[in-house]
Amino acid sequence: MKKILFISVLGLLSCNRNAQVHPPVGGVLSKKDLDVSKDRMKNLNSIERNQIQQWIGMQSVKFYPTQLNYWVTAEGFDQRERRQDNSLISYSYDLYDFDDTKIYDEPVARRDAKFGHFDELKAVENALRFIHDGEEVTLLVPSALAYGTYGDEKKIDNDIPLIIKLKAL
């Protein structure tokens, strides 16, 4: 009986020595992987910013940079008084690519959305904090503030900067 127990323990220990450790699916990335991802996003953002600035140079409308890294057609836009959490806003917006092609036929529209309680594109949510009722502005948004690395899994591919025509209703 002791021999069987000894052989079983020895067998279990020898199995554990060669076991490979894998991070869980969707789990922890190594520091190297995180650094590669961070560098990729920095480079992509820099390229997109340059492309957007070149595009702006060819337009008759003036665009102004904001602190959140997008451009808007209203001067001093993000210096305005900011709407507070829990305040209500109704709005709609259309999405375009930089070839000025409308991406969806119907605008995205929300009625009586409450700040702090809705999930919207980062640039849209930020712009809604500063827009006046009835005002319409155009946003030029790098992909990181739009649909980012994954796109919207419908018509917007990954890493696509957008033109957003936003209106507060």
Q: What CATH number has the domain bearing residue 129?
A: 3.10.50.40
The domain total for the chain is 1
Tokens 């961070």 belong to: 38
- Distance CA(168)–CA(131), nearest Å, equals 7
Please return the burial class of 48, using the count of CB atoms within 10 Å of its CB with bins 0-12, 13-18 and 19+.
buried
Q: Which of 63, 83, 42, 29 is nearest to 137 (CA)?
A: 63
As a whole number, mean pLDDT of residues 134-148 equals 95
Strands 136-141 and 71-72: antiparallel
| pLDDT score for 32 | 81
Amino acid letter at 117? Answer: H
Would you say residue 10 lies in a domain? Answer: no
> pLDDT-based confidence at 17, cuts 50/70/90?
very low
Would you say residue 23 lies in a domain? Answer: no
Would you say residue 120 lies in a domain? Answer: yes
Residue 133 has which token pair? Answer: 């009722």
DSSP assignment letter at 93: E
Query: In the predicted model, is pLDDT for residue 111 greater than 70?
Result: yes
**pTM score, two decimals?**
0.78
Domain coverage including residue 143: 63-168
pLDDT, averaged across the chain: 86
Q: Which of 72, 103, 106 is nearest to 92 (CA)?
A: 106
Query: In the predicted model, is pLDDT for residue 12 greater than 90?
Result: no
Would you say residue 42 lies in a domain? Answer: no
- Does residue 145 contact residue 119 with C-beta atoms inside 8 Å? no
Residue 38 has which token pair? Answer: 């961070």
- Does residue 156 contact residue 162 with C-beta atoms inside 8 Å? yes
| pLDDT score for 19 | 46
Would you say residue 86 lies in a domain? Answer: yes
Would you say residue 84 lies in a domain? Answer: yes
As a whole number, mean pLDDT of residues 142-162 equals 92
Would you say residue 164 lies in a domain? Answer: yes
